[in-house]
Amino acid sequence: MNGLPHGKPGGGAVPFVNNQIYSHMKKLVIVLALLAGCMQLQAKNSGYDHPWTVSAGAGPMFNLYENFFSILDNKQSPFTYQTALSFGYDFNRVIGVRLEAGYGKDIAACNVLQTSGGGYYPYNFQHVNLFADVLLDVLGHWHPDYAFRFKLLAGGGFAQTFSFTDSGHPWQKVQNSNTAFGFRLGAIGQYNFTGRLGAFVEITAEAFTDNYNGLQPTEQDKQNFKGYPGFPLDLRAPVLIGIQYRF
C-alpha cells in the first residue's frame, strides 16, 4: 500500500513517480549491461590467444632521394604506392616478429647538380622488398587486454629495383637492375574487432644503400662536382592501411 487513500486528490502521483524511477533504473541497467559487454569485448579482442598473424595492406609511399627537390621544383608528386603481405608470430604480449614482402613503384630524377642547363630528367621504376622485423607492443605490459594496440618496429632487409624508364639524361647512366640493402623504423596503430580480426595503420621510415634508385656518384661526378658526392642513402616512407588475421 502507498499510504494514500484511493480516490483522493494526488492518489495517482506516487504510482507515476514509481513508474519514472522504474524507467530510469531500467535504462541504467541496460547501459551498465552494454558497458560490461564492451569491457568483455575489449578484453576478448587483445588477440594474443592466437599468436600467428597474417596481414595485408596498401598505401602511399613518399620517395625521398638526393634529387627530391628537383621533383618538387617541377611540380611533380613525390608520392607513389606500395602493397605488402606479412606473416608474424607473437612470443608474448610484448614481443613479436614478422617477415614482410612488398611491391611498389617509385619516382626519381637525375641529380640537379649533375645536369647541364638546369635540365629535369625524371624516371620511374619498380621494386620488390623483403624485411624481417621485431615488434614491440607498447601497451602489452600495462594494458594487455585492450582492443587498441600501439606497436613500434625495427628491422632489416633488402630490395630489388627494376623496370627503369629512360630519364633522357645526355650522359648520366641509370642502372636498370639493383639489389639494395636497407633498414627501417616504424610504428603501428591497430584495432582488433575480434580476437582474430583487426585493422591497422602502419608508417615506416626506410633507408637503403645508395644504389636503390639506380644512381651512384661516378668518378666523373666526383671530379666535376667536388664537395657533392651525393647522399649515401636512398630514403622512402611508406604508409600501409590494411587488415590482420590471427590464427
The letter for the amino acid at 219 is E
Mean residue pLDDT of the chain comes to: 81
Q: What are the tens digits of pLDDT across the range 74-116?
A: 888 999 999 999 999 999 989 999 999 999 999 998 865 555 4
- 45-246, what's its fold? Porin (2.40.160)
Distance between CA atoms of residues 132 and 41, nearest Å: 32
Q: With 50 as the cut, is the pLDDT of residue 1 above it?
A: no
Residue ranges of the domains in the chain?
A: 45-246
Residue 52 cell numbers, joined: 600467428
* Maximum average pLDDT range among 35-44, 143-152, 189-198: 189-198
Sequence-distant (6+) residues with CB within 8 A of 101 are 84, 85, 86, 128, 129, 130
Residue 132 cell numbers, joined: 624481417
Q: What are the tens digits of pLDDT across the range 213-228?
A: 998 766 666 666 554 5
